[in-house]
Chains A and B, each alone.
Chain A
Amino acid sequence: MPDIVAYLIEKNLVTVGIFGVVLGVVALLTYGERKVAGWMQDRNGPNRAGPFGIFQVVADGVKFFAKEEFIPDRANKWLFVMAPTFTFIAAGTIMAVIPFGDRIVVGGREILLQIADVNIGVLYILAIGSLSVYGIIAGGWASNNKYSLMGGLRASSQMISYEIAMGLAIVALIMDHGSFSLRAIVLDQAGPIWNWSVFTHPIGFLIFYVAAFAEAGRIPFDLPEAENELVGGYHTEYSSMKFGLFMFGEYTHFTLASGIIATLYFGGWTIPWVMPPETPGILWGLLSFVVFWIKALFFVFVFMWVRWTLPRFRYDQLMGLGWKRMIPLGIFNIVLTGGLILAFEAWGIAEFTIGIFIAAIVLTGLLIVIFDALSPKETRATHVAGSEKV
Chain B
Amino acid sequence: MQTFMFYLLAVVAVASAIMVITRRQPVYSVLYLVLTFFCVAAFYVMLGAQFLAAIQIIVYAGAIMVLFLFVVMMLNLREPEEMEGRTVWPAFGAIVGVGLGLVLLAYLFGGEGRLPMVQDYTQSYALGRPDSMGRSLFTEFVLPFEIAGVLLLAAVVGAVALAKRDRG
Contact = CB atoms under 8 A, between A and B. Distances in A.
Interface residues of B, number: 23
Contacts of A119: 50, 129-130
B98 interface: no
Contacts of A127: 54, 57-58, 61-62
A182 B53 CA distance: 18
Nearest to A123: B54
Interface stretch (A149-157, A197-205, A247-255, A282-290): A149-157
A237 to B, nearest CB: 16
B107 to A, nearest CB: 32
B121 to A, nearest CB: 15
A189 B70 CA distance: 40
A131 B62 contact: yes
Chain A's interface size range is 20 to 34
Nearest to B73: A141
Interface in A117-151: 118-120, 123-124, 126-128, 130-131, 133-134, 137-138, 141, 149
B62 A137 contact: no
Interface string A144-178: 00000100110011011001000100000000001
Contacts of B62: 126-127, 130-131, 163
A180 interface: yes
Given A130-B62, A134-B34, A180-B130, A123 B55 contact: yes
B31 interface: yes
Contacts of B51: 120, 123
Interface in B73-98: 73-74, 76
B66 interface: yes
28 contacts: A79-B31, A118-B50, A119-B50, A120-B130, A123-B54, A123-B130, A124-B54, A126-B54, A127-B54, A127-B61, A130-B61, A130-B63, A131-B57, A131-B61, A134-B31, A134-B69, A137-B69, A141-B27, A141-B73, A149-B73, A156-B66, A156-B67, A156-B69, A156-B70, A157-B70, A159-B66, A163-B63, A167-B58
Top 9 nearest A-B pairs by Cβ distance? A130-B62, A123-B54, A127-B57, A156-B70, A120-B54, A127-B58, A120-B50, A156-B66, A127-B54
Interface of A: 79, 118-120, 123-124, 126-128, 130-131, 133-134, 137-138, 141, 149, 152-153, 156-157, 159-160, 163, 167, 178, 180
Interface of B: 27, 31, 34, 50-51, 53-55, 57-58, 61-63, 66-67, 69-70, 73-74, 76, 129-131
